[in-house]
Amino acid sequence: MKNKAYLFIIALIISSCNGGGSGDEQATDSTAAVQTVQPPEGFMPLDLSQYGFPITIFVPQSDTLQGVPEPSVEETGGGAITVKSGKYFQLKIADGSGDLAARKNEFAVDDVYKYEYVIDEPATLLYKRQIASTPMEPEFHFIYVLKTGNRTIEVENVKDGVDEFPQRAAERMLDVIKATSVKSS
């Protein structure tokens, strides 16, 4: 199973290189056409158009023997939705500004948590947060920005109601979200 996970991550890295571009094409120009992306092994596509988001994401395939429930989508108010499939695949998707610098400024004045950035790119922020001055295990979270037409969509992992996301779980969700298909508007 670990070999499959490594192969999946390698395949995502190779496919995201896409001919040596700068890496932020998806964040700045994802309106050209519907992207055709094959689901990673163990994942299935989930079209979010009926919830107002012109994207298809990949979620873990349901497998009750392995403890992976059917994915659920819940409208949470203000146009946002959560997508959940098990303990370590929980996303919040909402329209937003896509201003990661502003989010980092918010983190800088947080008196409760200490933040470290694992990935800090124009459309991606993967960070570690830990309650300052405690031996508690850190949590890992991400924010990923998708642009389609004049619309900016922010995808991040759910923080409320989850004990913690280890780094591997946050990285896995982020890798899968980077393979999101954006539909033309």
Query: Which of 100-114, 130-144, 160-174 is most confident?
Result: 100-114
Q: How would residue 60 be classed by pLDDT, with cut points 50, 70 and 90?
A: confident
Structure confidence by residue, pLDDT tens digits, 103-125: 999 999 999 999 999 999 999 99
Strand partners, 148: 151
Q: If DSSP codes are grouped into helix, strand and coil, which group holds residue 28?
A: helix
Number of folded domains that form the chain: 1
97 three-state secondary structure: coil
Given a contact cutoff of 8 angstroms between Cβ atoms, the answer to whether 158 and 143 are in contact is no
Query: Where is pLDDT greater, at 48 or 8?
Result: 48
Phi, psi angle pair for 175, to nearest 5°? -60, -40
Residue-averaged pLDDT of the chain: 79
Quick one: pLDDT band at residue 65, thresholds 50, 70, 90? low
3-class secondary-structure state, position 73? strand
- Looking at the predicted structure, is the pLDDT value of residue 4 above 80? no
Residue 53 has pLDDT above 70, yes or no: yes
Name the most confidently modeled range: 26-40, 56-70, 152-166. 152-166
Assign 85 a pLDDT band (cuts: 50, 70, 90). Answer: confident
pLDDT of residue 162: 62
CATH number for the domain including 117? 3.40.1000.10
Please determine, for residue 56, whether its predicted confidence score (pLDDT) is greater than 70.
yes
Domain of residue 93 covers 2-182
Report d(CA 73, CA 41) in Å as an integer: 21
Q: What is the DSSP string of 116-142?
A: EEEEEETTEEEEEEEETTS-PPPEEEE
Percent of the chain surpassing pLDDT 70: 73
pLDDT at residue 67, as a whole number: 64
